[in-house]
Structures are given as C-alpha cells and as structure tokens.
Chain A
Amino acid sequence: MKAPDFAYARPASLDAALALLAEHGEDAVPLAGGQSLVTALNMRLSAPGLLVDLNAIPELAGVSEDEGVVRIGAMTRHRDVGTAALVRERLPLLAAALPHIAHPAIRNRGTIGGSVALADPATEWPACCLAAGATIVVRGPGAERRIAADAFFLGLYTTALEPGEIVTAIEFPVPGDGAVWGFEELSRRHGDYALVGLAATGRRSAGGLSDLRLAFFGVADRPVLARAAAAAIEAGDLTGAQAALADELDPPDDPATRAATRLHLARVVLGRVAGRMRDGTAKEETSHGA
C-alpha cells in the first residue's frame, strides 16, 4: 500500500494552480485536505501524473459574512467550519453536522471544498449544502461560476465541475426569521460513513412547517432532496411523507446493509427530524451504538 509515483507542485496562488491544472488536463489532480485522495493513492486506486497541492494558496480558507451570505473558503478545515463563531451563530445546521464527520484528526485536515468536490453520497457537507440551498463557487480556466447546490451533485463522485475547475468557496444564505433546521445521522460507529442521514431546513409558523428542504445522504448515489416527502410533511402527512421516500430514494444494496434497511432507516429518521422541527426541539439527536 505504497502510493505510485507522481509529480508534485505546490503553487502559491490560485492562478498558478489553475494554470497547472489546465496544462496537464486529466493527468493532474488537485490536493485539498488529502483525507480521501491520499487514501486512494496509498491504495493505488488513483495514479495521477501530477498532484497540485492547494494548501499554500492563502485566499482559499476562511469564514466571512457579507450581506446575508456566509462564505466559507474551500480550503477551510472541517473543524474550523464547524467551530467558527459565524457558523455557530448563523448556520447551526453545519455546526450540528461537524461531530459526525469522521474523527478529530480527519476534521483537522480535511476540507469542506474537498468534500464537496468529491461528492461522496454518504457524507455530511454535500447534504448540508443541498439542505441550505448553498451556492458552490468554482474557478477554472474560464470565468468564475456559481452553481446552485441543487445543480451541483450529479451522481456517484460526479459533480458539475468541468475539467480544470476547482471549488473555491461555498456560500450559504443566512436563514431568516422563523427558520428551523434538523440533522440526524445513523451510523454503526461514531464517525463512520452514514447508513442514513438527513440534513433539513425550513420555516416554522403557527401553521406548521414550510419551505422544507430535506436532504438525505447515504441513500443514493448522491445527496437527495426529497421533494414529495417535504410536501407531504408540510401538509401534515408524515405517513405519506415516509411512503413517498420509496420513490425518491434509491439506496444501494451493499454486502452488510440491504437497500430495504436504508429505506426503512430513512423513514425513521424523517419522522424524528420532522417531529423535532415541528415541535421546536431543534436540538439534534445523535444515534450511535451499533
């Protein structure tokens, strides 16, 4: 399990990095936190000709707020995302997701941009982006593009990134008055990839829940916005919402966990999260233990 040989560059600016990626095309791979990429290299699942290390580019990390939008630089470490005062105050959904992301050592090094670009369907940040209606900011050889989360996650490890493009930031709209959120993840052990997870945002008023965005993860080849389920919840029909999941989710069958199990767990999680959002106990509940 020693990585194959590759060339390595550590550009000091974003333009230099993009130039390298453009020059080498598919043979070049950007290195963000490395928690997934270096694993793949060690296992020889990936054999790029050139690694372009993004860790020395100063403007890619940091959390800031401007006109109702919290901007999180792509190279911001998971831990710094979740513990930033701005995130704790403005984006409690992200703060709630943090403890579920792997383990401290991974959180210290992995980045939100790397996670979003990888788009592993069983991970937290892509689902949070979807639930929050975030915008993924990308740069490539062409002009900067801003892509809605709804249009970004296209399939298994597949995003709207074009060749030579990298994620530079993710912008989250700051939730307004009456905003509520929910998060729950079921995994066999602390920090494991989710069997099923749900990141949710919405509004609560006297009439109940509205503007619900239910982003499931671990239940398909990408994070999924369960729109029919959301509509049913808004109409006060939890049972109908849970039934609708059968059509909206496409859980994988894997050797240890049947698709039927994931679908069932999704229903349970939906009930728990929707219940808390409706009742105002927006505190996220962890469910660990085998």
Chain B
Amino acid sequence: MSADLSGLTFLDRPNSYIGRSVPRPNARRLLEGRGVYVDDVAVARLGHVAFLRSPHAHARIVALDTADAKAMPGVIAVVTGPELAAVCTPWVGVLGHFKGLRSAPQHALALDRVTWVGEPFCAVVARSRAEAEDALAAIMVEFDPLPAVVDMETALESATPPIHPELGDNLAFERVLDVGDVDAAFRDAAVVVEETFQFGRHTGVCLEPRAILADWAAADGMLTVHHSFQAPHMMQDILCKHLALSEGAVRVICKDVGGSFGIKVHIYPDEMATCALALMLKRPVKFVADRLESFQSDIHARDHRVTARMAFSAEGDILALDMDDLTGIGPYSVYPRTSAVEANQVVNLTGGPYRHQHYRARARVVLQNKAPTCQYRAVGHPIATMVAEGLVDLGAARLGLDPFAVRVRNVIPDDAYPCAGVSGIKLEKLSHQAALAKLRAMMDYDGLREEQALLRQRGIHRGIGLAAFIEITNPSAAFYGVGGARISAQDGCTIRLDPQGGVVAAVSVTEQGQGTEGIIAQIVATATGVPMDQVRVISGDTQTTPYGGGTWASRGAGIGGEAAWQAGKALRGNVLAVAGAILQADPGSLDIRDGAVVDAATGTERMPLSELGRIVYFRPDTLPPGVQPEFVATRHYVPKDYPFAFTNGVQASYVEVDTETGFVRLLKHWCVEDCGTVLNPLLVDEQIRGGIVQGIGGALFEHCLYDAEGQLLNGSMADYLVPMAGEMPDIDVAHVVSATASSEIGAKGAGEAGTAGAPAAVVNAINDALAPLGARVSRQPVTPDVVLEALGLI
C-alpha cells in the first residue's frame, strides 16, 4: 500500500471514512419515494410501445397484417421487423477469444422467423400502453410452426434439426481443458466419487422491470436514452453502431435502477427496437416490460447438467477432478458479452479453492428454442461451487472424514500465493485457511454437530452444509476487451472543488442500489479531506461522466473506487500547491482536513477551503505570480497486474428437513468473505446477504419450467417462486482482509460472493440431514418433490 504526500496510507488518512459503516447519502430520497426510475421520467409527446411476441417456440411468419391495428384509437405507428431493419442493423453475439463460438444474426424485431416464445416481432406505438395493447390484439398474423429444440440432452443428436441451418448443428461453443494426468490420478485413487448435478434454469426477476425511454430530438441531433441499465457507455456504443449515429449524438442516462444483477447489462431486441422507433417516429418512445413479458424475455441463466468425478487419496487429499458440463442457452448467443461465458467460468472455477494438480473439464453450450441466456449474478459460480463442494462431501463421507477437516486439508494454503489454480487462473492472495477457521468459530461448528446428533435421536433431521468458493472480481480487459468487445475495463473519476468548498465527483461506474455512489463519496471525502456531506457524486450519464465500463462482475468499488482515490489525491495535491503558494508554506507541510487547509503536523487550521475558493475563483488577481490553479482532477484506473482479482469465501447453512413432507427449513446461514479492503462494512455485508438469498432462490425455489413445446409454464409472480422473507434465515457475515496490491485502496469485489456459495451450502446441508436415511438430492431447485423422491416416499 503506497503512501500519499503526507506519508499516510489509504487506510490511515485523518478523518477517514474508509472502513466505516456510513449510511448511503442517496438512500434518503429512495426512502421517501423520490427515486427517479425510467418509468418516472416525464416527457412530452411520449409514445408507449408494446410488442407482439411469438406464441411459438419456433415458427415461420407467413403473413402479418397490421392495417386494423393502425386504425385503433391512440395508435401512432405499427412497425414490423423488415420495416425496423431499415433503421437498426442486426448483431451477432460472438467474441474472438471464445474460439469456435457460433451464433446467428439477431434483429431487433424478428423478420420472418421466430425462435422462442416471447421473441418480439412487431411493435405498436400508441399514446398509452393500454391502447398499444388493445392494438396488439388487432394484428393478424399467420404462423407456420417449425420443430422446436427444447431438450438440451438431445439438441446435438443428428435427428434434431439445427435451429440455424447455416450453422449445421446446435453446438454454439465447446471448451475442453485437460491438465495433468487425470486418468492416472483416478486409477491410483483410493476413493472415487461421482455425481450428476442438475441445475434448473432461472432468471433475475429484478423488481423494477426492464425499462427504456428513447428520445430523438432531431433539431439537436441528439438521441437521449433513459435506461434501467448497468453500463451506459456500452449501450451508447452499441446504439451508435446499430443505428448509424455518431458517439456525440447519443446520450445514455442511468439514474435510479430498481435492481439489475446482470439482467440489465445485455442487449435486448425490444430495447433496441424502442430506440430505433424513436428515430423513425422522431418523438420519445418508452418501453417498460410488464412482469409477464419479463419472465419470457429477460435473460435466463444456469440451465446446466454436470456429471463430475473426484478422486481422493486414503488420507483425504483431493487428487483430481473430471467434469462434463452441458448447458442449454437460447436460440442466439446474447450480444455483446456472449452466452459462452457462464460455461467458460464453470470450467475455470470448479474446484478453485483446492490444490489438486489434475483437472479435466469439457463444457458444451447448445442452442435451444427457449429464452436466451446470459450473465446473471455470480455467472457460473453457483454451479462450479456446487459441483466441487458436493463431491467433497461425498468423498468425506466415503472416507469417514469430517467435511470441515477435508476442506481444511485441501484448500490452497494461505502462504502459497501468488500462484495459479489448476485451471490456469492467476491468484494473487487468497485466505481459505483463515476464512475456514473464522467460520468454524463463528458458527460454533462443534456445537452444531452436537445439537444435530441429539436431535437425530428424537427423529429431527438437521443438516450442516459447507461451501468454499472463489469469486471473479475486478476484471481486466482479459474478460471482454481481448475478444473484440467494445466494453471498457477501465474507469475514471473527475473531481471538482467549488468555491464554497464542496466537491462534485463524476464517476463512470454506476449505481443500482449496491452503494456505488456512497462508496465513491467516502473515498473522495477521505482523499480530498472534504467532509462527506460536502461531496456530491454524479454517475450514470455518458454526457457528464468520464468514459468507463459501468457496474458488473463486482468491479464498481475496486475499479471505480481506485479511480476516485487517485483523482482525489491529485485534486488535493493541486489544492495544496495553490494553498502553499498563498500561505507561503511548503505544500508538503499542509493537509486538507474537515474542509480546511491545515498544518499537517499540528492540525492547526490555516485557511478554510471556502476562503481558498473565493480567492481562486473570484480574486485570481491576488494570486502570487506563476500560480495557475486547477481545482479539477481526473484519473482513470484499470487493473493490469492480474486478469481478475479473485476473492475467496466460505459459507455454511444449517437446515432442518421435515422428512415426512420434504419441506426444508433454513435455520441459519453464515459467510466469511475476503474481498480485500472493506470500504463500508454495512454495504458489503448487505450485498453478501442479498446475494446469499438470491442463491437460495435458485437452490430451493426458482425454476423456469418449459413444456415439450417450448412454452414457459410458470411465467408469473404467482407461479415462479422467488425467496420471500417468511422462509429466509438470518445471515451472519464476517471478513478476512487480503488487500490487493494492484491498487492503493486494495479493494476487491464483493457483489456476487453470496450467490456463488449459497446453493452449495444449502444443498450440502440438506444432504447432510438426509444422509442417515440413505437419501441424497442432486437436482436444483430442491423442492418437496425432490426430497420426497430421494426418500422413496413418492
């Protein structure tokens, strides 16, 4: 950790806000109902768009007659795929670094063929959403249904027609990794355990549905887009490309966003269509997905079947891991980040905490006529963690060893870093051993085992489940940029000191509730010496912030925060240089604390910032000769030392299984997480808690259920079960801190850790509870059906 001008490090600046649980300044307006989400933005002459969506999983559009719809009350326009294609070009979701990844061109409105239930192919713009929906019913369409690919297990068989004939088959991507001598390791192993894991496709269900408002002001030559989205600059770039506009003609604004979780970082045909419609109609057009179309058209994720084996020595060393992953995506790889990333991460991350040297993995990504899938919080991590942690428990049981002890024995030691994981991932500094030790104490593991044993005698079946995991955060350009994606891995912060002594910080990372703006304010206040209530943060506007990547892959604090820290230090340096000249003191002997220039050694106030501001902005005639103040500073940051800043953690779940009904009760949950410097414990812990519950959703409740015709059967809030307060446990969170040396603030990411480990912890706990009954589950979500089948009761 490097020292700043006064010889102080990031963590011990006076009046530092770093590491303090400061409540978020921008939360106040949300509490008062004064948030501004896209649907709250008032604009004159607004047209509302509703989309006609495919009722078939796969069909040719034979005829489309929009004449009656155009005549309906309130209708401004009815636009078909071919008409829109004149304004918006198609895209293909492939990147160069995923060798062999294939997909087909996708249009904003399907032209003559629809490929999943919910795919939009016609748009009605009307004066109200209700009138637009009325007009949808008046559109005449004739389909010629085509065979639908809805079973990933048979998607690659020769009898299954390719969704895109030009691709020849339905294989979008395949990756094979073979390290060491896996076959020898299994041959020589004392114990080999094997399991087939099934993961139910599920989706994000952001409470604020996807929403976009595009306003083409022809006189200004400006397209302004209000977007519920995570990456405004990426959207700006893509709009320019596909709508043939220059960068300066597109402004994307992401103000309050009602949850995103990765769902809102991808390109959606209906959102692109909305922007194209604004250009065509030369008026503002708004699209807000209703909940039913959200379920059908938001990206889905995590539809995997993994067969895996783990080899152990007699003493319990993990020798090798061999894995085959099959995942079914949609009919297109999603643009621009591709739908290959999830499987790729499963290959990279499975078994990541452990020190085995032999690893073989194959992942195949197959196209299906179902909703497209792409990155969703903790991309691939929950699957990778479940596979390894499930096998570890199986091995421990077979060897008669305690599952905690097996993990302690096999994690990469804390003093082994820097090193590489067996899949080739570069690890700077993790703390599996320290985390495990902390968890054991925190949860009173031994006490719980005693309690479990006692209750078992009374026929009460409780289980303890553990999950050690690693998480990808703070990605460099290795994630997307190297593949040709115009997705920025760097971010910037511009900070300006105003005459009254307050600062305004514009930053290119964005806020969706995780506390980005609060963290930036804390960092800026600490770096500049200005009290936090005098710091205002601006984010989410391509016109007013530096250029950057936005928030995803747990990068906001680590990357945006470092940029803010560096900019703050630079501004402070500029300010002290001028102050020194005015006060005739060495700038090195001065500091800024609590809004005033002070003597660094004694803390004695020399001049309030407001006085310095008055002189600099209003009386520059009184400045010493040769002094040119620059009370604005910009710095950018991109991680360079490592492709990713890996973090580590371990979770535990304590459950009770009602072995008569198959119901699972979550009694308690724990997580020890090492995300490097903890900038704000309150915010980090809440991210982890939220992530854990989101993971529990996939483990127990959430499943996008399709029938044999590719119809989504449970696409409403009544039928698709999200975790609610009545069933969720209290969650204790603690930390180990291994700061990254890649930045001065040393913060890694923390946004996805909860989701990465929670399903494995819960499912392992369920299996621990069922073990005495000879029952085991390996399919998520673990519903009462699944438990009762395992118990042989149905």
Residues of A at the B interface (CB closer than 8 Å) are 1-5, 43-44, 186, 188-193, 195, 255-258, 260-261, 264-265, 268, 287-290
Contact = CB atoms under 8 A, between A and B. Distances in A.
Contacts of B714: 255-256
Which 9 pairs, one residue from A and one from B, show the smallest C-beta to C-beta distance?
A: A190-B726, A289-B665, A2-B130, A1-B290, A255-B705, A260-B794, A290-B700, A255-B713, A290-B664
Contacts of A190: 724-727
Interface in B666-722: 666, 700-701, 703, 705, 707, 713-714, 716, 718-719, 721
A14 B511 CA distance: 54
A255 B727 contact: no
Given A2-B130, A2-B133, A189-B724, 4 more contacts: A188-B783, A190-B725, A257-B784, A258-B785
Nearest to A3: B130
Contacts of B98: none
18 contacts: A1-B133, A1-B292, A3-B130, A188-B727, A188-B784, A189-B726, A255-B713, A256-B783, A257-B784, A261-B794, A287-B658, A289-B656, A289-B658, A289-B727, A290-B665, A290-B666, A290-B727, A290-B782
Interface in B775-793: 782-785, 788, 793
A255 B665 contact: no
A98 B533 CA distance: 48
Contact of A256 (B130, B665, B703): B703
B129 interface: yes
> Looking at chain A's contact residues, is the secondary structure mostly helix, strand, loop, or mixed?
loop
Contacts of B700: 290
A258 B707 CA distance: 15
A93 B794 CA distance: 31
A186 B724 contact: no
B707 A255 contact: yes
A191 B794 contact: no
Contacts of A189: 701, 721, 724, 726-727
Contacts of B666: 289-290
Nearest to A2: B130
A255 to B, nearest CB: 4
Contacts of A290: 663-666, 700-701, 727, 782-784
B783 A2 contact: no
A249 B280 CA distance: 59
A170 B749 CA distance: 59
Nearest to A263: B794
A106 to B, nearest CB: 12
Contacts, number: 88
Nearest to A269: B661
Interface string B281-313: 000000000111000000000000000000000
Nearest to B48: A2
B421 interface: no
Nearest to A260: B794
Nearest to A39: B718
B788 to A, nearest CB: 6
B134 A5 contact: yes
A265 B661 contact: yes
B790 to A, nearest CB: 12
Contact of A257 (B291, B716, B783): B783
Nearest to A289: B665
A193 B133 CA distance: 29
B444 interface: no
Contacts of A186: 661, 663
B705 A256 contact: yes
B726 A261 contact: no
Given A1-B290, A261-B794, A264-B793, A288 B727 contact: yes
Contacts of B133: 1-2, 4, 44
A264 B794 contact: yes
Nearest to B664: A290
A265 B784 contact: yes
Interface string B627-671: 000000000000000000000000000001010111111100000
Contacts of B713: 255
Contact of A2 (B129, B721, B727, B782): B129
B721 A188 contact: yes
Contacts of B664: 289-290
Nearest to B130: A2
Contacts of A192: 721
Nearest to B660: A268
B726 A191 contact: yes
B663 A287 contact: yes
Nearest to B724: A189
A12 B705 CA distance: 46
B705 to A, nearest CB: 4
Given A255-B705, A265-B784, A193 B718 contact: yes
Nearest to A192: B721
A189 B702 CA distance: 12
Contacts of A255: 705, 707, 713-714
Specify which of A191, A192, A261 lies most central, judged by the most chain B CB atoms within 10 Å of its CB: A261
Nearest to A186: B661
A14 to B, nearest CB: 32
Nearest to A43: B292
B720 to A, nearest CB: 9
Contact of A287 (B291, B661, B703, B782): B661
Nearest to B729: A289
Contacts of B701: 188-189, 290
Contacts of A191: 726
Nearest to A261: B785
B279 to A, nearest CB: 26
Interface in B349-403: none
A54 to B, nearest CB: 24
B785 A257 contact: yes
A261 B129 contact: no
Contacts of A188: 701, 721, 727, 783-784
Interface string B313-337: 0000000000000000000000000
Contacts of A4: 133-134
A229 to B, nearest CB: 17
B130 to A, nearest CB: 4
Contact of B788 (A2, A3, A44, A261): A261
Nearest to B73: A5
Contacts of A287: 658, 661, 663
Contacts of B726: 189-191, 288
A189 B664 CA distance: 11
Contacts of A268: 660-661
Contacts of B290: 1
Given A5-B134, A256-B714, A289-B727, A261 B662 contact: yes
Interface string B590-625: 000000000000000000000000000000000000
A19 B665 CA distance: 52
Contacts of A195: 784
A261 B784 contact: yes
Contacts of B718: 193
Nearest to A5: B134
Contacts of A257: 783-785
A46 to B, nearest CB: 14
A193 B714 CA distance: 14
Contacts of B663: 186, 287, 289-290
Contacts of B784: 188, 195, 257, 261, 265, 290
Contacts of B291: 1
Contacts of A256: 703, 705, 714, 719, 721, 783, 785
Interface in B712-745: 713-714, 716, 718-719, 721, 724-727
A191 B727 CA distance: 11
B579 to A, nearest CB: 58
Nearest to A267: B660
A260 B664 CA distance: 19
Interface in B111-158: 128-130, 133-134
A285 to B, nearest CB: 11
A43 B656 CA distance: 38
